[in-house]
Chains A and B, each alone.
Chain A
Amino acid sequence: MTELSNIRNFSIVAHIDHGKSTLADRLIQETNTVATRDMKEQMLDSMDIERERGITIKANTVRIDYRADDGQDYVLNLIDTPGHVDFAYEVSRSMRAVEGSLLVVDSTQGVEAQTLANVYQAIDADHEIVPVLNKIDLPASDLDRVAEQIEDVIGIDASGAIPVSAKTGQGIHETLEAIVQHLPAPKGDPDAPLKAMLVDSWYDAYLGVIVLVRIIDGHLKKGDRIKFMSNNTTHHVDRIGVFKPAMAEIDRLGPGEIGFLTASIKQVRDTRVGDTITHEKHGTTDALPGFKPSQPVVFCGLFPVDSAQFEDLRDAIEKLALNDASFSYEMETSAALGFGFRCGFLGLLHLEVIRDRIEREYDIELITTAPSVIYHVYMRDGSMVELHNPADMPDLTHVDHLEEPRIKATILVPDEYLGDVLKLCQDRRGIQEDLTYAGSRAMVVYDLPLNEVVFDFYDRLKSVTKGYASFDYQMTGYREDFLVKMQILVNDEPVDALSIMVHRDRAEQRGRAMCEKLKDLIPRHMFKIPIQAAIGGRIIARETLAALRKDVTAKCYGGDATRKRKLLDKQKAGKKKMRQFGKVDIPQEAFISALKMDG
């Protein structure tokens, strides 16, 4: 156990690619926390998907022992927080678990929207913030400009900013010293009843659920009986330890310390981020503020491409859900796609991560239907129904009005692309709230309907700004609008998986675009296929896919039999990836591609 005055707890706030992971690696290396031979890149990102995408999904932590220039030994606890808006709540809890932050900004790039969102979280959590200007080894590095930007945009003092090259190691020692000197030591009462925050948790095949905790008051020891205050479940602690970053068992954790516990907990679902942990007996009665169970905001259907894999999919989804309390699911039957699941996610990244994990770790190919948000459907009788799936839209004669979720979106963009960004936001029914400049970069704030953003907004934004824009958002609430359910009919049959909720004024345009897209996506058949968009019984757009005229192999002799047979086998495999609607085969990618908007 370490004296409070010799503990420093901190997080690193950074945009993707600004060098957060490399900096963390350097701090670990400089202090010999990990032997050089055991170092690998991005020590803290443990999932393949995290490494590939350069994002952090689960909070990670490492305890660094450091002898400072003042001759004293310090314990530095770094919590590597999730860096994406989908995990804003998790970020906020991790932020509450530490007293300070390193704000890492790429000195060749400057501040990005995501940095802003996270740094505001840090400010909200009363952090001391030490700016670190990274990548000073690159010729494009511009320390003065970026420091000025930090002061202008974020409004914090950047005079003590540390120039660093995480790549070459320059400035790493100075960074460690700044952590000791400028970040505050944690406060806490060692004699008070145990009060600890559940920072994050995950499943380990050998140890069960591992719970990452920050001790606020009191002590936590191996053998203690503890209680989670949100659900009053009790557990027997069988292991206490810290991450270096490998797990190292210790006897107890005291105030200000960050570590883990295991208590034979089977499901991550039972361990809620932000929950307060205390002793079963003589515990605190005073839970930490700010706990909220996470709520999914984006929904979509996941169906196995090969319907024979439904049971495998169920198994995969159940396993993933055990480890992720924010992921919800229920069984769904679609006339078009058969059996699958309607799943809820914290956001689009969360959706993609889960989908990728099912496809990769469980080897199940998926059809993902159009992401939808939760609409509030107010009925004539005064009741309100939450609509998660356009297919479940109640009969219009009973509906009074609909409300949709709105967001506040913050976009930072070089001014040459500003016009395109404004057009994009306008096209997505956005209402401009703010437009300010910081140097040659504009910061726009828009009030946007979430349903216009969940699908391909981010992709479009990246494409119209050649990747130079950064984007972040937060939910703001619900508002009434004229929303209708638009159906797509292929060969006169409605395809439920292609139904979407759309603003009435945009319906024709969206309908036309979807019909045109589907015309390209659906292969020609031996008959012509009408593709229509409809609201209620009224057709608002129509395209016709012409019949297949020619598909024949001109020459086919003895030497061609094998090749033709193998081609047919390939086509068989291709056909498995199609879904049949009446007599029409629709390829799986159509369900997502048809919805992409080009403008």
Chain B
Amino acid sequence: MALENWQLGGFGLYIHWPFCQAKCPYCDFNSHVTASINQDRWADAYLNELERVAGDTSDRVLSTVFFGGGTPSLMPAKTVDAILTKVSDLWTTSNDFEVTLEANPTSTEASRFRDFRTAGVNRVSVGVQALNDKDLKALGRLHTTTEALRVYETARSIFQRTSLDLIYARQHQSLSDWEAELDRALAFAPDHLSLYQLTIEPDTAFGRLWDMGTLKGVPDDNLAADMYELTTDMTADTLPAYETSNYANSGSESRHNLIYWRGGDYLAIGPGAHGRTTFAGKRTGTVAWRNPGMWLEAVEKQKTGDMTIEDISQTDRETEYLLMALRLREGADLSRLSDTARMGLEAKIEELNEEGLLLRSGDIINVVPEKQIVLNAILVRLLA
């Protein structure tokens, strides 16, 4: 039997832990700072949600679990353990089962790494963000460079796979500053880097400063573009970009994130989490209650954390697939689209190809790597 469309992307589970010790000024994720957390209630809620979402999907093979946040490295190890034990009760897991947890690089969290590993976590993504104490402060981070790198080394000694996150195109950062910093990061010989350009999001502290005109020294588009090109060049040999902002040596890509970009199915539990599931060709999007208190109450009283369940039309699925897949170096596979959608795209693909923005080989289209920096404009041309 031919594989269903979603199966070509894979099947994973996302778990959102919404709490942080402090809110960072650039972050628009669903994260909250709370004085006390009733850990038992929260653990029970996640376990109940797992049982609920397993209902329709227990016959599937689960490839990945991703603990995101918030700061999931602040979760009690026993909660992580209980969740992962429940996961293996509910689903068959794949041979190369990947369990990622996002970690902040402070010593408190490093002390739990061994217990996380025992619970089943086999990959951590460490949010180092900058290799410069002044900038870490400006980004609202609670750790120093030395501490972060020590935690990163600890992580590498404990987990099979690690990733390091950096934010660049920061305030007052020059091209040579970034070159030196990236050089230093590459010198640790990581197998995976997430390198994000600083984005000023609305409804964040930075966003408000930006609107008032008091956020100084943010690189302009020209400098940011130069930094992006430099990043592509510097990583090309050892950790080539496999996605717009992600760099890895072959085989070390985040398998969980690839499910998003390849149009697979993913269950999602925890406050504000977005899921996608496909049954009999019909795709559904779920969004959980965003506010942690409301989510907890919904799970306990309504027996579901989901606030909305939405049908994703064929056209919307195809749009999502293209806008996600074209972030990947491997590109998008046109054979995964309906004939109508393909026909509608042919002329535009040809045009973008002639302009040197898109590459095409058979059914595969991908964005010319150095043009990823204007991906949004290309998507508008292709899809709007």
Contact = CB atoms under 8 A, between A and B. Distances in A.
Interface in B353-375: 355, 357, 371-375
Contacts of B190: none
Given A526-B357, A556-B244, A568-B380, A550 B374 contact: yes
Given A551-B376, A571-B380, A556 B324 contact: yes
Interface in A544-581: 548-562, 564-565, 568, 571-572, 575
A67 B286 CA distance: 75
A558 B320 contact: no
Interface in B106-152: none
Contacts of A559: 14, 268, 272-274
B7 interface: no
B11 interface: no
Interface in A330-348: none
A215 B75 CA distance: 91
B377 A554 contact: no
Nearest to B222: A549
Contacts of B72: none
B320 A561 contact: yes
A568 B222 contact: no
Contacts of B377: 525-526, 548, 551
A556 to B, nearest CB: 6
Contact of B260 (A549, A554, A561): A561
A527 B259 CA distance: 34
Interface residues of B, number: 45
Best-surrounded residue of A526, A550, A560, A571 (most CB of chain B within 10 A): A550
Contacts of A557: 68, 257, 260
B196 interface: yes
Nearest to B384: A572
A554 B324 CA distance: 12
Contact of A555 (B199, B355, B373, B380): B199
B373 A565 contact: no
Interface string B196-221: 11110000000000000000000001
Nearest to B375: A552
Contacts of A551: 373-377
A554 B384 contact: no
Interface in B273-308: 273-276, 285, 287
A568 B319 contact: yes
Given A526-B357, A550-B225, A561-B260, A575 B244 contact: no
A556 B274 CA distance: 12
Contacts of A548: 221, 374, 377
B373 A558 contact: no
B266 to A, nearest CB: 5
Contacts of B225: 549-550
Interface in B239-260: 244-245, 257, 259-260
Interface string A502-543: 000000000000000000000001110000000000000000
Interface string B218-231: 00011011001000
Given A526-B357, A526-B377, A550-B225, A562 B285 contact: yes
A424 B2 CA distance: 75
A568 B323 contact: yes
Contacts of B68: 557
B163 to A, nearest CB: 13
Contacts of B376: 551-553
A189 B132 CA distance: 100
A517 to B, nearest CB: 21
B123 to A, nearest CB: 15
A555 B274 contact: no
B244 A558 contact: no
A202 to B, nearest CB: 43
A151 to B, nearest CB: 53
Interface string A247-262: 0000000000000000
B245 A558 contact: no
B327 interface: yes
Given A526-B355, A558-B268, A575 B276 contact: no
A568 B383 contact: yes
Contacts of A525: 377
Contact of B374 (A552, A558, A565, A572): A552
A51 B374 CA distance: 48
A488 B357 CA distance: 28
B327 A556 contact: yes
A550 B276 CA distance: 30
B89 interface: no
B266 A558 contact: yes
A562 B257 CA distance: 16
B384 A552 contact: no
Contact of B197 (A527, A554, A560, A564): A554
Contacts of A575: 380, 384
Interface in A212-258: none
Nearest to B264: A558
Best-surrounded residue of A557, A558, A565 (most CB of chain B within 10 A): A558
B316 interface: yes
Given A552-B244, A559-B273, A565 B380 contact: no
A585 to B, nearest CB: 10
B379 interface: yes
Interface in A114-150: none
Contact of A561 (B221, B244, B274): B274
A378 B328 CA distance: 64
A561 B321 CA distance: 9
B232 to A, nearest CB: 12
B323 A562 contact: no
The 7 closest A-B pairs by CB, nearest first: A549-B225, A572-B384, A550-B221, A559-B274, A551-B376, A554-B196, A558-B260
Given A527-B355, A551-B375, A561-B320, 11 more contacts: A548-B377, A549-B222, A549-B374, A550-B374, A552-B372, A554-B199, A555-B245, A558-B14, A562-B287, A565-B323, A568-B379
11 contacts: A548-B377, A549-B221, A550-B225, A555-B196, A555-B199, A555-B245, A556-B244, A556-B260, A559-B272, A564-B324, A568-B384
Interface of A: 525-527, 548-562, 564-565, 568, 571-572, 575
